[in-house]
Structure 1
């Protein structure tokens, strides 16, 4: 019987497999993901669906928050204002507090994305949101104006998902012991 490894990739840390994320979502602080992995460029792809039992790293949560303004525009929940786009390091403005991106789905070869999220309504109920698919290289007249910004934010989120698959997770919390 073989042991299941807690992370994805080769046994040798110096080698990296090729991971292609198709879907990812965070629920209750845990990552669920569908992806393919190749041990080498000429190897066959193996498909996986995985739920990590560790809490996700704050960097992944931050990368998902960078997608919130796009979710709001794509689902027509908010309209763009002069101060709509937050700086990378700053927290999201209060305008976005009731919104969250919980996951995404990438099209084949990562040519586009569909965002999945939620909005907490005033009465405490939750409205689930799914954006229309956005092609990153769409140059038609009805294309999403911020596809380039969305692609950059999506690449950062995918990089954090890949890091989580390779073992990056939230540090264990040490409880204080009283004597």
Structure 2
């Protein structure tokens, strides 16, 4: 997914703008791990990064990851669609039959034109069943997955929240000055990153 130019990733980012393309995202114990590329200008080469944020993710990201759970369940043939299968249109609240399932991450392919979902199912005996969906392409004229359009919309929203997290949106700061913190506002420090690997 390609987005407009925003503030460069990191807690001490200058006012320059950048383009982020999320490739993989995973949330474990409320912390985001992400692989992505960043371009500081349209004609600049992308730089590849892998990072884990120390701050806990914002509830908005968890909400949009949860919206991918129904797709994970259908693609992995864990549940059968019923008249009351999908989340509430207004609140996005998941029905009770999704309680054993968690969307832990996703992997974007073909320049954002497809996705593989990754998640878990809590089994009755207390063990966890890991789930990985088949790859879904958004470019197929006759998609093999009937809800590819809905999946793409939900993925776009989740990816937007991942990008916001990379730019500092988390639970530990005041959200008003997300993209434009000032030096005299220490309470708006963005995101602490543990080892970041960049490739020229």
TM-score, normalised with respect to structure 1: 0.87
CA–CA separation in structure 2 for the residues paired with 1:160 and 1:118: 21
Q: Is the 8 A contact 2:67 2:92 kept in 1?
A: no
DSSP-derived class of the 1:31 partner: strand
Q: Is the 8 A contact 2:107 2:116 kept in 1?
A: yes
RMSD: 1.7
Alignment coverage as a number of residue pairs: 165
Structure 2 partner of 1:81 = 82
Contact 1:10-1:17 within 8 A present in 2 as well: no
Match of 2:119 among 114, 117, 120: 117
After TM superposition, the score normalised by the length of structure 2 is 0.79
Superposition pairs of residues 1-179 of structure 1, within 5 angstroms: 7=10, 10-12=13-15, 15-88=16-89, 89-140=91-142, 143-171=144-172
Shift of 1:137: 2.1
**Unpaired segments ≥5 residues, structure 1:** 173-179
Please give the alpha-carbon distance, in whole angstroms, between the structure 1 residues aligned to 2:137 and 2:12: 29
CA displacement 1:32-87 (0-9 Å, x = unmatched) = 00000000111110000000010000000000000000000000000000111112
User: Once the two structures are superposed, what CA deviation does each residue of 1:59-116 show, in whole Å capped at 9, x if it has no partner?
Assistant: 0000000000000000000000011111241421110000010000000210100000
* Structure 1 residue 11: Cα displacement: 0.7
Runs (4+) of structure 1 exceeding 6 A deviation are none
